[in-house]
Structure 1
Amino acid sequence: MIRMSLRQFRLSALAGAVLLTLATVYLLRLGGATHAARLPADHHQTMLFLAGGSGLVPAFIGAFWGAPLIARELETGTHRLVWNQSVPRRRWLAVKLAVVGLASMAAAGLLSAALTWAATPVDQATGDRFSTVMFGARGIAPIGYAAFGFVLGAVTGLLLRRTLATMALVFLAVIAVQVAVPNLLRPHYLPPERATVAMTADAINRARMLGGITGGPIIGGLEMPDAWITSTSRLRTADGRVLSDAAFDTCFSHAPQTGATGTFGDIAVCLGRLDLHVDLAYQPNRRFWPFQWIELALYLGAAALLVAVGRWRIRRGTFS
């Protein structure tokens, strides 16, 4: 069974190996440049682009390695040949998942290791390790992403029995999960630390967003050294109350002309005179590795649950 699974997987494995080799060589060359650079932060945009691209790897693994693994055999009927040779269904499934699943995890681990090493000087210079895109392209978490993407593809193929439909569905589903987890779950892995920050004119000008779509005293895009800000309160007055919409709108739309410069100019000066502050919840960068282990465990646990679903389905289902 193992030899047969390897033979069936050889073309996909060869294509993956070629792409992985090319990516690794590029990252080693890039890493040499970042480690030798006097200003590693100059490579930040490149690393951001690579991190975004690496986030698609689990989706490709799920769609091109996981989805066809079982769906194609059920679609073409080749599974009957193996089952008629007295190979138990669950063993057949287990071997297929183990062989290709371990290859997926190894490929993702190698790619992540190369990218993590190449990006180390840039991450140290910018302090950007915890942002949504960067975190998912570093450390050991990508191994869990690959395992989850692959198993989701394989089990979905077992349920749908249609290769192309499974590939499309799994690709979109993995991307949806990759977007949902950083925003809904990751900020809450450990209780956040909290801080109160005065909103002077300079602090407001360092923000990236001021005012919501419907108005109101909202500020966003604040930064804190060596930390990932997970939530920001509305602008508050000295007594802890939320700044009224009327007071905010007065500064936002009718700020006195002072000739101030900066991102928000006179608006920042007007608001800065109101003795405002915001309450922040944040995760310090020292929690990077605990969060990596938690996320790895989360995705491996989800993959294990999917394997259980697949074992139940192949034992109880009828496959003509």
Structure 2
Amino acid sequence: MIWLNWRQFRLQALVGAAGLALIAAYLLYLGADIRDAHDAYRARCAGPGDCAQARSQFQSAYQNPLLFLAAGLGLIPVVIGAFWGAPLVARELELGTHRLVWNQSVTRRRWLAGRVAFAGLAAMILTGAAGLLLTWAASPYDQVAADRFGTVEFGARNIVPIGYAFLAFALGTVTGLLVRRTLPAMAITGVVFLMLQFSVPNLVRPHLMPPERTSLPMTAQNIDQARNLGSITGAPVIGGLRVPGAPDAWISETSPLRTADGRTMAGSAFDACLGSPPKTGAGGTFGDTAVCLSKLGLHVDIEYHPSGRYWTFQLAETGLYLAAGGILIVVALRRVRRV
């Protein structure tokens, strides 16, 4: 069985190994470059003003490349599910070669279990190694940016990619077994897993643990520390805030701007401060707008998770993916008897 699995899987394994080698070479180079830039940033950080400017330059230099790398790593499980998992059984059924294998002494369940174990372990090793390499390369940047809970970043660091790979592979295997045609199974696997990658971080991850809650007054200083103000719909919202005393906490939900009595700020008042605030000559990110809003006694209610919960979330989400993948494999082992 081991030799048969290797013969059938060797092309995918060699392509995966070559891809991992290229990824490793680039991430080792990038990691060294980030560390040199981080040392330069620390050397320039002689005073508060110098620190702010140096931090901004350091983050802007690597923010987009690391974001694109994280998004690219997120596509590896999609490729594994579509090109490794979906054809695993579907190709055998489509070509009729399953009849030869299942007429030997090896049972259907044992044959499928062997193939799943061989290819599934390879998928987890490949994706896990790429995730750990990216984690190492980005670690100085992550320390400065304090955004490890980011939607894309979280799923591309440490152990979560291992769970992604296993779930994608299991999803592809079950889809191929049910659809029985390779190309439709590949397409369905890719679409469904992309939907999972979008929905879990936004709909499931924030609720894996009960959040902490607090109210943050909208002083001019707090407003200027935000990343964005307003939205395309014109709603009185603010985004990218930080919890005082815990700048690396993950804010999972932020209410609209609210008045002292808890009501959502009127859109007309928000538009007035956003579009034509009184001129005060204030500096900062939002300048006169921040001063105008700060005089209205506003606040936001936020739900957040302290940074100390990071590994709890990593373990919980990875366990969720592994459990879901395990259920799919059990379904496949039961279903293969009736094919």
After TM superposition, the score normalised by the length of structure 1 is 0.92
Distance in 1 between residues matched to 2:68 and 2:276, nearest whole Å: 40
Which residue of structure 2 lines up, in the alignment, with residue 297 of structure 1?
Answer: 319
- Once the two structures are TM-superposed, the CA of residue 68 in structure 1 deviates from its matched residue by 1.2
Tell me, which stretches of 5 or more residues in structure 2 are unaligned?
42-57
| 1:149-188 paired onto structure 2 within 5 Å | 149-188=168-207
Matched residue type, 1:210: L
Which residue of structure 2 lines up, in the alignment, with residue 102 of structure 1?
Answer: 121
Which residue of structure 1 lines up, in the alignment, with residue 3 of structure 2?
Answer: 3
| Preserved CA contact (<8 Å) 2:242 2:248 | no
After TM superposition, the score normalised by the length of structure 2 is 0.88
Distance in 2 between residues matched to 1:154 and 1:247, nearest whole Å: 55
Q: What do the CA deviations read for 1:177-220 (whole angstroms, capped 9, x no partner)?
A: 11111000111111112222221234323333333444342222
Residue 122, structure 1, aligned to residue 141, structure 2: yes
Residue 64, structure 1, aligned to residue 72, structure 2: no
Distance in 1 between residues matched to 2:151 and 2:123, nearest whole Å: 22
Which residue of structure 2 lines up, in the alignment, with residue 18 of structure 1?
Answer: 18
* Aligned CA distance change for structure 1 residues 248 and 175 (closer, same or farther; 3 Å): same
| Preserved CA contact (<8 Å) 2:234 2:267 | yes
Which residue of structure 2 lines up, in the alignment, with residue 195 of structure 1?
Answer: 214
Which residue of structure 2 lines up, in the alignment, with residue 287 of structure 1?
Answer: 309
Matched residue type, 1:295: E
**Among 295, 307, 320, which residue is 1:273 paired with?**
295
Distance in 1 between residues matched to 2:324 and 2:132, nearest whole Å: 23
- Once the two structures are TM-superposed, the CA of residue 263 in structure 1 deviates from its matched residue by 4.6
- Once the two structures are TM-superposed, the CA of residue 117 in structure 1 deviates from its matched residue by 1.1
Which residue of structure 2 lines up, in the alignment, with residue 222 of structure 1?
Answer: 241
Distance in 1 between residues matched to 2:255 and 2:153, nearest whole Å: 24
- Once the two structures are TM-superposed, the CA of residue 149 in structure 1 deviates from its matched residue by 0.6
Residue 46, structure 1, aligned to residue 68, structure 2: no
Distance in 2 between residues matched to 1:246 and 1:213, nearest whole Å: 15
- Once the two structures are TM-superposed, the CA of residue 61 in structure 1 deviates from its matched residue by 0.6
| Preserved CA contact (<8 Å) 2:277 2:288 | yes
Q: Secondary structure at the match of 1:231?
A: strand
Tell me, which stretches of 5 or more residues in structure 1 are unaligned?
none
- Once the two structures are TM-superposed, the CA of residue 56 in structure 1 deviates from its matched residue by 0.6
Q: Secondary structure at the match of 2:89?
A: helix
Counting matched residue pairs gives 317
Residue 209, structure 1, aligned to residue 228, structure 2: yes
Out of 178-187 and 166-175, give the one that drifted further. 166-175
Give the CA RMSD over aligned residues.
1.9
Q: What do the CA deviations read for 1:93-118 (whole angstroms, capped 9, x no partner)?
A: 11111110001011111111111111
Out of 170-179 and 210-219, give the one that drifted further. 210-219
